[in-house]
């Protein structure tokens, strides 16, 4: 990981970062002008899918949530580049990617300072052919084998001490027969312990139940969760 100094801050770069990158690459207008936006994902805010040469990337801005959103939608207190949310996520993703875990390949992060504050963006590789679990379960079912595979994959992250701060059904992608975890904002490595691992699983279960409340036809039921746990406990029996 290295830093490219800019007029207003810096770009955190990985080995996959193009050498010609500039802060304008983190603006959707830059890609729109070149007609290189290939799609969007809309939640509270828009995430952009863009194309660079033969690569497909995801461009995401960091937005505040909760009570702080009322005071500032996207400004964070600056305490150092490595402490910014974008750089921390990029560093974590690079570590996980290098370990062979199923996460998006990190490209770059942009930090723009103004006074005591900063705004941030991140570029990561888009996983080809992937859809999130909510989108998938709205139209089809997963097999028992797939649910167990998902549980085993989550257990592998946990056994390596990887804490995902927002483990939910929309942050799990399926491409072919392979599951991926995305959005590691505020994620970190923790000492392996059953307490936070169980809490992480319960967060995921609440997510599935919340989505089923919105879409009663969602292909998720108690048996699915038991299959997931079976796969999980085969890898991590102590939790």
Instruction: State mean pLDDT over 50-73.
Output: 84
- Out of 38-52, 90-104, 165-179, 183-197, which region has the weakest mean confidence (pLDDT)? 38-52
Specify whether 76 is located in the same domain as 102. yes
Specify whether 175 is located in the same domain as 94. no
CATH of the domain at 82: 3.30.200
Specify whether 121 is located in the same domain as 137. no
Specify whether 107 is located in the same domain as 64. yes
Specify whether 211 is located in the same domain as 105. no
Specify whether 6 is located in the same domain as 116. yes
In the three-class reduction of DSSP (H, G, I as helix; E, B as strand; rest coil), residue 110 is classed as strand
Specify whether 63 is located in the same domain as 114. yes
Specify whether 95 is located in the same domain as 160. no
Q: Is 121 a catalytic residue?
A: no
Specify whether 159 is located in the same domain as 73. no
| Among candidate residues 125, 144, 177, the one where a domain is terminated | 125
Please give the backbone phi and psi of residue 202, each rounded to the nearest 5 degrees, phi first: -65, -35
Cα four-point dihedral sign 166, 168, 170, 171 = positive
Query: Does the pLDDT of residue 67 top 90, yes or no?
Result: no
Alpha helices in the chain (DSSP H): 28-33, 85-98, 133-137, 144-159, 194-214, 222-235
| Among candidate residues 109, 125, 141, the one where a domain is terminated | 125
Q: What is the pLDDT of residue 202?
A: 98
| Among candidate residues 63, 96, 125, the one where a domain is terminated | 125
Specify whether 114 is located in the same domain as 181. no
Task: Tell me the residue range of the domain where 216 lies.
Answer: 131-235
Number of domains observed in the structure of the chain: 2
Q: How would residue 66 be classed by pLDDT, with cut points 50, 70 and 90? A: low
One of 166, 177, 183, 185 is an active-site residue; which one? 166
Specify whether 156 is located in the same domain as 218. yes
Distances (CA, A) of 25 to 50, 111, 146, 207: 10, 12, 37, 33
- Mention every residue, 6+ apart, whose C-beta is less than 8 A from residue 141: 219
Q: How would residue 221 be classed by pLDDT, with cut points 50, 70 and 90? A: very high
Q: What is the pLDDT of residue 71?
A: 65
Q: Quick check: 48 and 40 in contact, CB under 8 A?
A: yes
Specify whether 80 is located in the same domain as 143. no
CATH of the domain at 210: 1.10.510.10
Q: What is the pLDDT of residue 42?
A: 82
Q: What is the pTM of this model?
A: 0.94
């Amino acid at each position: 990981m290295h830093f490219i100094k800019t007029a207003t801050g810096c770009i955190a770069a990985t080995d996959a970062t193009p050498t010609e990158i500039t802060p304008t690459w983190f603006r959707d207008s830059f890609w729109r002008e070149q007609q290189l936006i290939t799609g969007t994902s809309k939640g509270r805010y828009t995430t952009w899918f863009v194309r660079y040469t033969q690569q497909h990337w995801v461009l995401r801005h960091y937005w505040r949530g909760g009570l702080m959103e009322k005071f500032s939608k996207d400004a964070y207190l600056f305490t150092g580049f490595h402490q910014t949310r974008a750089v921390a996520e990029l560093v974590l993703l690079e570590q996980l990617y290098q370990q062979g875990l199923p996460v998006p390949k990190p490209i770059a992060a942009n930090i723009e300072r103004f006074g005591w504050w900063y705004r941030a963006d991140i570029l990561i590789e888009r996983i080809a052919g992937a859809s999130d679990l909510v989108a998938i379960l709205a139209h089809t079912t997963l097999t028992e084998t797939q649910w167990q595979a998902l549980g085993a994959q989550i257990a592998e992250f946990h056994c390596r001490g990887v804490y995902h701060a927002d483990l939910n059904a929309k942050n799990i992608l399926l491409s072919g027969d392979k599951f991926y975890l995305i959005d590691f904002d505020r994620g970190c490595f923790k000492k392996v312990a059953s307490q936070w691992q169980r809490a992480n699983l319960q967060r995921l279960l609440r997510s599935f139940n919340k989505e089923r409340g919105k879409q009663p036809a969602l292909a998720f039921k108690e048996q699915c969760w038991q299959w997931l746990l079976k796969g999980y406990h085969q890898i991590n029996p102590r939790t």
